[in-house]
Amino acid sequence: MNKKQILSDILSHLEQELSATIIAANNAHLAATDDQSVAETQYDTLAIEASYLAEGQSRRVAEIQKAKQALTQLVLRYFDESMPISLGALVQLSQDSNENHWFFIAPAAGGFRGELEGRHYTVITPTSPMAKALLGKFIDDEVELMVGVNKLCDEVIAVF
């Protein structure tokens, strides 16, 4: 799989999310400062609610910008059997081989799912339970992970 293309797909997704979030933040700011939002009674909280929303949206804009920066600074390298799994690795577990599913360990955008060349991938960050279980492992190592009350035992079969 082409990790440059995966990174490009993630950045494209973040750019779309950033555009939508900026629009939402601007709309919330306009609503908070609009003459129609002025409180008429002590129970009228429309302007306060809109200002909280604007603040939250502005924080989300900053988070997305930070994620984009972290991803653009990610140095992509290809892993061989002698290298432990680390940031930038594309990993497949034995139970996921039938579904052709992979995990891409990235500094941000955890949870993003994509498809490339008929292969599905999920972005995980180093703070996620799955990444914590994978980091430092090698091909053929066993991985144990608690998923709720169930214990997942699997094996690393490929790392790129």
Q: What does the alpha-carbon distance between residue 20 and residue 29 come to, in Å, rounded to a whole number? A: 14
For the whole prediction, is pTM greater than 0.75?
yes
**Residue 43, burial from CB neighbour count under 10 angstroms (0-12, 13-18, 19+):** exposed
User: Residues 58-98: pLDDT tens digits?
Assistant: 999 999 999 999 999 999 999 999 999 999 999 999 998 88
Share of the chain above pLDDT 90, in %: 78
In the chain, the amino acid numbered 26 is: N
pLDDT, residue 141, reads: 97
Class of domain 90-159: alpha beta
